[in-house]
Every structure is written in structure tokens, then in C-alpha cells.
Amino acid sequence: MTTRGDHGDATTVDTGLARLTAELHWRRRNPSAGPTAEATRKQHAKDKLTAEERLDLLFDKGSFQEIEPLRRHRATGFGLEDRRPDGDGVVTGWGTVHGNRVFAYAHDFRVFAGTLGEAHAAKVHKVMDMAATAGAPLVSLNDGAGARIQEGVTALAGYGGIFARNVALSGVVPQISVILGPCAGGSAYSPALTDFVFMVRGSSQMFLTGPDVIETVTGERISQEDLGGAVAHAHTSGVAGFAVDSERACLADVRQLLSLLPANNRQLPPVVPSADPPDRRTDALLELVPDSPRQTYDVCEVIETIVDDGEFLEIHENWAANAVCALARLDGHVVGIVANQPSVLAGVLDIAASEKCARFVSICDSFNIPLVTLVDVPGFLPGVAQEHGGIIRHGAKLLYAYGNATVPRISLVLRKAYGGAYIVMDSRALGADLSFAWPSNEIAVMGPEGAANVVFRRQIAAAEDPQEARDRLVRQYRTELMHPYYAAERGLIDNVIDPGETRHVLIRSLAVLREKHRRLPERKHGNVPL
């Protein structure tokens, strides 16, 4: 190594820096008690990638910057004295996804089975704090066996620090949890506190108590996959918003989701140029949606027809399928779409659908994503199980989410909108900025048959031909109180539009609402009907 003396001449000095730098690079290549080749082989044998391979797929090539790679746990005994691997079983750092900064941590199952100890937790806390400071999304790649038993209560305290930060970051930066292996016990609560959860079919499991404990306590026998696999959580529990077939496809979907989200709650979602004309007519909708309110159709085809290039990302596709929640773009701007799905349970709202939509509306509002609601709802699902299950409370969650949202809100009645479900689906009365309807719309307290049976019960009973009287009075009720312009005449919708102009109307309406500014009453926080 050379340095310059007082007179500018080069003088050789032996500081040892070159030697120490070489030692650093050697340690990076040969971490202390790090993952063995056999551990890597076992990971790959399970069709699972290593932490580093996952991060390479998540981030733009060469952009990931690791932090604290040399942190090690303090020797605590119980077999850990001679096993102090660099990194302590978790890789943390930041990089870019589509050019935008993102922070992440990835459990390394090859080291202590990815279990969380004091040093491991400190690294996770650090990267979460950095995400908060930088105002950038946080992605967790979960593949760990829970708390490290050998470290006792300090491991549990580490989880507490993660949960507290999940809550503090909620609604501030997007948080995405990707389950790529086991995520059991207390560790499962962190994904539950985040905005989006991804799982991989066949290799992801998430549960609080495993099959062995359940069998001991309740006598029920069930496999890990059936108890807490991707299908269980994506179809039944609703914990996972996405179930994907492979890790590579899963991480590609995470990248797609990040492309639709802003960095934080102070920014707008990214806008991309669109070659899809904003005034493109959508005449195909005339054939997609039947006139008869009794006929079914797939509302996803409606969404595909309206949005840019027919592309959208559906959240919770397999859970509460009688409602659809999706992120898409209109003229390059991101929107959140909430829609009833007539092809499943006729599009009624039930407990699960109410929760699903309320959660999605809340996420969109948190991150400045305008809402478009496509309404075709016959009401709430009737039944003792629904009432005793708390449909009133769960339906109120959707009311609360819409009523609390300050982003631009547009609703469009495609066909029918009956009863309380009409109000809940972002009606004008609930605060939608603009409300439109197609000429086929029917907005009423209930369907004409049910309404006629209530309103004209005595006339029908006294008629010589009750069936003929009922049919005539149903037609009368439909004509006088349910014709397509009844709500428009009373100012409950802003306009009845040509279905072929749907895309253009929505884009123009969102443009005029882009600078919307609404302030909620000053308060510590609202009391959500949990």
C-alpha cells in the first residue's frame, strides 16, 4: 500500500489493511458455521430455494444490499457454544424492485432451521426500522421453525418487537409476507398483521398449534398441509390472499404486486403509460351481462373488459368468491376494484365476503388507491348460521371501511342493488363521490316478488286468482318503483350511462377526483366493529 509524505513523494507503509481486507473477503466466502452443502442439498430436494436465491428473484439483478451479515448470537449454552454462524439464520437488507426501493428479510432454514433468537430478531428489528425511516415497502420471506428454544424468553421477546413494528408500520408502508416453508406458533402472527400474505402450494404451512398438539388435545387427526397449507388458508380461512404453485411464480407475483403499490402512505401509486385508449368503447359488456337479474355471469370478464389491457391482480381469488377484489389500472393509474360475483351465490354478501371487501377497501384507502365498486347484489345471505355468526357485525366492517375511506370512490350499479346490501356497496348515501348505473339497474328495498308479497299481501289474499294478482302487482311495483331512472330522478345516482361508455366514464371521473381532499374528524382512532 502507498501513501504520500509531506513533500508529495510516494512512501510504502505496512498498515495491514490489505491483509485485513483479504480476510474479510475470505470470511464472506466461508462464514463461521454457515450453511453446509448438505443443508443446501436438502433444501433443494424439497423444491425450496435458499434465502439468497429467493432474494435474487425478488430484487432487480444486483441491487440487493445486505446488512449485518456478520452478526452472531451470544453463546448461551444448550449446544449453541460451538455453533455461532454469521448472520444467525436470517438475511436482511434492501434493494430495488422495478427500480423502487424495497426492504426485506429472509429466513435461512439451513441455519438453526430458521428459528428466531436474540441476534436474529435484532436484525429483523433493524431492517423494519429502516423501512419505516426510508418510507419503503417491507417484504418478509418466512421459512422458519419458530422461536429458538435454546434462547428461551429472549426469543419470545424478539417476536414481540416484530409484532409491535408490524402494527406501527400498518398503513404507513406496504407490508408483504411470503410463506415459503413452516411458519408456526407465534411467528404466524406477524404475517397476519401485514397487508398481503402469499403461500406456495405443497411447501408452505402456517398454524398456531400443529397436528400433534391438536390430536393430543382434541383427538382430531389432520396433516400439516390440510391444517395450515396454502389451500387451507387461501380457500377456507382467508389468511392467505395468494396461493401459488412454485416459489419462482410466487416471487414474480410479489414483484407484480409491488409494481401496483406506492412506497408509503404519503405517495400515490406508480403511474405507467398505457397504450389502451381511455375512450375505448366497451360494447362487449352488452353481451356479457344478461338483462335478467336471475341469470348469472362472471364479473371478472366485466373487469377484464374495462381495465387497461384486460390485466388485473385479484386478491383472495379463492376465498369468499361471491365477491371480487382486484388491483388494476385505468389509463395507467392504479385502482382498487370491488365487485359482487353473480356466478357464486348470486353475488350475495355474507360474513366472509364482507370481511374480504372491508379489508381490501381499508388497504386501498391506506395507500391512496381510488376505489371503483361494481354492484350487482341481491342482498345479504339469509340463514341462522349467518345471523348467529355475526353477519350484522361483519357487514358493519364493510360499512365502516367505505365510510372511513378518503380516497376517490366511484360506484356503478350493473343490474340489481337490493336492500341494505345496496347501501353497504358504497352507495351515494354512504359517501361515494360519484354513482352511476347502467340502464338495466334495479335499486330497491328488495326484489319485486318479495316486495309485492309484503306491500300487497291483503290484495293478493283477497283476489279470486292470487297468482294472477301477484304477477300483476309485481309488474306494477317493478314499473313504478324499480324502473332504471327512479334513483336518478331522486338524485341517488349521478347518471345512467351506456355500458359501452363505461371505461371512458370511469377514467374521466377518476381524473376529476384525483385531487380529492377529505379530512376525517379529529380523533385518536375510530372504533372498528371488530
Task: Write out the catalytic residue numbers.
Answer: 185-186, 420-421
In this structure, are residues 303 and 374 in contact, taking their beta carbons and an 8 Å threshold? yes
From CA 91, how far away is CA 89, in angstroms rounded?
A: 7
Is residue 288 within 8 A of residue 301, CB to CB? The reply is yes
Total Cβ atoms within 10 A of residue 141: 30
Q: Which of 156, 154, 151, 159 is nearest to 79 (CA)?
A: 151
Measured at the CA of 492, the angle between CA 487 and CA 497, to 5 degrees, comes to 70
Residue 279 CA, distance from chain mean position: 30
CA angle 185, 190, 194 (to 5 degrees): 145
Q: Which ranges of 145-270 would DSSP assign to H, the alpha helix?
A: 153-169, 189-193, 211-218, 224-228, 230-231, 247-259
Q: Pull the grid cell for residue 121.
A: 430478531
| Per-residue burial over 322-358, b = 16 or more CB atoms within 10 Å of its CB, e = otherwise | bbbbbbbbbbebbbbbbbbbbebbbbbbbbbbbbbbb
- Report the b/e string of 419-432 with b at 16+ CB within 10 A: bbbbebbbbbebeb
* C-beta atoms surrounding 385 within 10 Å: 11
**CA dist., res. 325 & res. 360, Å (int):** 7
Residues 6+ apart with CB under 8 A from 93: 55, 64, 65, 66, 67, 103, 104, 105, 127
